[in-house]
Amino acid sequence: MDIGNQIRERRQALGLSQEELAQRLYVTRVTVSHWGTGKTLPDVQSMLLLANLFGTTIDEMVRGDVDEMREMVEKGEQQRKAFAIALGAVGSPSSPCSPLWLWQGETIWIRRCACC
């Protein structure tokens, strides 16, 4: 079972609304809704609070989602690679050089080219 379903089912078992859960976790109701539908995943701090509230461990909540998380990471890597390829294909019309782009974490720094 994925984290979103676990959050939704455990929240309902405690008789909490999305708003009540959000207040206990210091997040918005929309954030809780996104977790429940699988649009986003909770951060580590929220996972700690959820596990404590639900009387379980983070390991128990996450263990079933390893494949889902791996797919999300791989999808993000594919998107970054496609973006980098697209950037590399777009040259500067006023320069015979290719654009220079540098990766720094999640940020791509783009210079016109290596020589200008």
Domain ranges of the chain: 1-116
- Is the model's pTM score more than 0.75? no
Which H or E element spans position 77?
Answer: helix 66-89
Residue 75's pLDDT is 80
pLDDT tens digits, one per residue of 55-88 = 999 888 887 666 666 777 788 777 777 776 766 6
Give yes or no for residue 89 having a pLDDT over 60.
Answer: no
Among residues of the chain, what percentage have pLDDT more than 70?
66
- Which of the given ranges, 15-24, 54-63, 76-85, 89-98, has the highest pLDDT on average? 15-24
Cα–Cα dist 24/27, whole Å: 8
Instruction: Identify the DSSP state of 23.
Output: H
Residue 114 pLDDT grade (very low, low, confident, very high; cuts 50, 70, 90) = low
* Number of neighbours of residue 16 by Cβ within 10 angstroms: 16
The domain defined by 1-116 folds into 434 Repressor (Amino-terminal Domain) (1.10.260)
Q: 3-class DSSP state for residue 43? A: coil
CB 39 within 8 A of CB 49: no
Residue 104's pLDDT is 58
* Number of neighbours of residue 23 by Cβ within 10 angstroms: 14
